[in-house]
Structure 1
Amino acid sequence: MAYLICEKCNHYWQIKREEEFWAFHICEECGLPLLYVKDFNEYRKITKNVPESSVNSQTYRKSDNYWRFWRGGRLIFTAGALMTAAGILLTVTSMAWGITIVLLGIILMVLSVPLTRAREGRGIDWRKGHEGELIITNCLRRLPEGYHILNDIQLPGAYGNMDHVVVGPTGVYMIETKSYSGNYIVKGDRWFLNDELRKEEVQSPSIQAKGNAAALKEFLESRDIYVSWVNAVVAFLSESCTIMEEDEHCRILKPCQVPEHIMGSRLMLGESKVKRIVDALRKHASEVW
């Protein structure tokens, strides 16, 4: 029997299997991610705490910016509606310039609609991404002492950021978090959305993860730090993902499976090399814990 724990509300729920985590991974009372543990003995051994700065990641900032635009669009629409109503009232009272106010109000409302819709959709996508990052961050707390978690890494010259990097005795892991909705079929590097309404090939998270892992290995080598490889992992938050062809260079896992995958690998790095890697990446990460 496993457990889901909300440390803020001091509640816990017993679940029979790991898959139930996906039906109930956010606390309904406080909205924070639940911590998945195999048993209470594992929970007592957890020493890592999620820093408060986790809420200020690049994904969170992007989400917040889109919602700011969305609220701005709503204000513009409201202003346009008020101007239109005022213009109609002035027109009724025989003021000729009231029609000008009506037209300006209508223009404002028309312009605000595409702005609001576009920003709302993007805001929802980025918010789901931020939620996914918090969930995997919470799962990574189960890693024992000796493992270091670096979040939101932006390497020099890189186009995008890396969601999470774990460095420990079993190696270096680049973790890409994807919070997709719908059913997916994965054939190596090819990803297909397989929903009732849509069936199409989509951008491959595994290619992105392997690209980031290669960039991270190259960055370490530029600092005279050599590792055999950087492990690529996609932490996938969709309830349904069917893997038709396993990719040996990129594992696709549920967030609660990631710690076991990391700890189950063979020992590769000594304590001194782990420290060198963490020190090299520290200033490029938003937080290290």
Structure 2
Amino acid sequence: VGALQVDERFDNFIMLARNDIFTNLGILIGLIAVIGVLMFFSVRTILARQIRVNQERAEVDTMRKELIANVSHDLRTPLASIQGYVETLLMKKNELDSERFDRYLKTTLRSTEKLRVLVDELFELSKLESKERQLIVEPLAIDDLIHDTVKSFKIEANEKGISLKAEIPKRLPQVNADIALIDRVLQNIIGNSIKFCSEGDTVVVSAIEQDKDVLISVQDTGVGIARNELPHIFERFHKGSTIKSGSGLGLAIVKNVLEMHGSIYQIESKENHGTTFTFTLPVLG
């Protein structure tokens, strides 16, 4: 009887141990399964992140190559012009009459100015995109700035036979803005309008108070922008199908500056029917 009891206890112990082993094994398998699932999702996340990083690197590399190509192209043209005219001036200085000599010098100076503008705008855009240039916000009398900017373009507009005017109400509130950067925005937008206008066209710069903002508008009756080009006008080096001089960086700078100010901006245009550019600046509060 004693032996039977010992055997029964031993069998019970073995059964309990076996049950514990199976239970623990089940838990272990469950844990392994959970760990496996977590590892799967972790690996998938890491791979997805790596794919994104690789794509971003590829995009950056593509952008870098495009930037180098565009800069090289824009530098090559004025440099070739400068080199050609300087060589002519040096080699044939005794053969050139004063009229041709002066003409060659003026052409060289114009090419040098193109290089200066390109380098300045590249440097400025680089500082804006890298956030190196921070906003210096202060009260700005936007009406005075508009009048001053319009005056600075009067000679150029008159020479082209373009009517350029400002339509500003007498009492326009001051705005919060970076004066130097908004001056650059107005210079670029008005300059673009004049560039794409011809004799008999009109450029009107206006501003009105609208809720808690001042809405500034530059409207012209120039050649306008083709519909398929509108999505690309703020891209670096985009010059459109209408061949005009310029670096193609002006509106990229405008976009960066206005976004830094939290401005709402838009451009409306129809080919051969002019362009209207509007943007907002917050009223001084």
Asked whether the two chains share a fold, i.e. TM above 0.5, the reply is no
TM-score by length of 1: 0.26
Query: Which structure dedicates a bigger proportion of its chain to helix?
Result: 2
Which has the greater radius of gyration?
A: 2
Q: Which gives a bigger RCO, structure 1 or 2 (Cα 8 Å, sep 6+)? A: 1
TM-score by length of 2: 0.26
